[in-house]
A and B are shown apart, each in its own frame.
Chain A
Amino acid sequence: MASPLQQFEIQPYIPLEIGGYDISFSNASLWMSLAVVMTFAMFGAAMRRKALVPGRWQNIPEMFYEFVAGMVRDTVGQEEGRKFFPFVFTIFIIVLMGNLLGLVPYSFTYTSHIVVTGALALLVFGVATLLGFIRHGFHFLSFFVPPGVHWGLWPIMIPIEVMSYLSRPISLSVRLCANMMAGHTMLKVFAGFSVTMGALFGLAPMLLNTALFGLELIVALLQAYVFALLTCMYLKDSIELH
């Protein structure tokens, strides 16, 4: 029987190599492209009619839009938030589509790879840091000096603050990747139980798997939400300092 970790293997479909770099079109590329195509198809189809009273299909993108818009407004702020809405929305949709498409049987979950989530997290981290320096210049560095702390403690507190700042992209990427990987491995393990236990007793793991699938659906949505929410918070920190 296949290993439960086999689903995470990268399989190059069209081998390509440019300048010593392997840029093969793999299953990861395929599902990322599918995510983009599906997003455009969904939003395009939904927005074609532009009804005042949304139909079923129009409702889905509007729900996403309002959800993210509300989140950005609440965390980053009314005025500032508007400028960053496209960024946060893109991040949210990428993660959400990756998580949800990964739940389709035989698919590949690109958000379960630390390379993908790490790149996303570094993008968020880079944008937030750059934004801080652009907005506040070197005053941004005062961010690492906790207010209300005696100066005698600064030699300890500043390295701790800097590390706490540097740990952001790591926790952001590891959280998403680990959640997706753990969930998908678990699904495969229970599916494996079903296969080995036969038609009669295999029913129990299958029922459990059905429930776990529901849980995975929640996790997929929640992780996309958490990723976007933390993106908002990091942006807010860079804008407001403290």
Chain B
Amino acid sequence: MSDPLDELDRKIKDAQSRQKTHDDHDASGDKSNDRAMGMAMRVGVEMVAGLLVGGGLGFLIDNAFDTGPWGLIVMVVLGFCAGIMNVYRTVAGLGMSVGYRDSLKQAKDKAKDADHTDSQSGEQ
């Protein structure tokens, strides 16, 4: 009587562990894919946005202080830098924002968070 039950138990555990590794594999694959796709969408716009902000600010400065083309020139260059920096941060995974975040600390946070985020592997 206990033999088939043990057998079943073993089978279930087997299947569960298999499912788990499969899920892990799947989740990481999906996530990196998702992230790559999301990143591809972000990066291009990020550069243009920096340039636009630089141009806009430069134009405002020139209008306000009557500084000829210099405000525009300087601010467009700086805006381009900001755009490139945004792209670099996005791609390097330093957080996609102002300020550098220590990537090591972020990785640690993620590992910590991973404990209570098991329930969301099935949402895409």
- The answer to whether B83 touches A74 (Cβ under 8 A) is no
CB distance from B102 to the nearest CB of A (A): 8
Q: Which residues 121-172 of A sit at the B interface, judged by CB distance below 8 A?
A: 143-144, 146-148, 156, 159-161, 163-168, 170-171
The A interface is mostly helix, strand or loop, or mixed, namely helix
- Per the bound structure, the CA–CA distance linking A90 and B115 in Å amounts to 27
Size bracket, chain A contacts: 35 or more
Task: Tell me whether B82 and A167 are in contact (CB under 8 A).
Answer: yes
Q: Is the CB of A226 within 8 A of B53?
A: no
Distance A230 CA – B86 CA, assembled complex (angstroms): 13
Contact of B50 among A74, A163, A229 (CB under 8 A): A163
The verdict on B117 contacting chain A, using a C-beta distance below 8 Å, is: yes
Interface residues of B (CB under 8 A from A): 37-38, 41-42, 45-46, 48-50, 52-54, 57, 75, 78-79, 81-83, 85-86, 95-101, 113, 116-117, 119-120, 123
24 A-B pairs with C-beta separation under 8 A: A63-B123, A66-B119, A66-B120, A67-B123, A74-B117, A78-B116, A156-B81, A159-B75, A160-B82, A160-B85, A163-B57, A163-B75, A164-B85, A164-B97, A165-B97, A167-B50, A167-B52, A168-B97, A170-B53, A171-B42, A171-B48, A175-B41, A229-B38, A230-B96
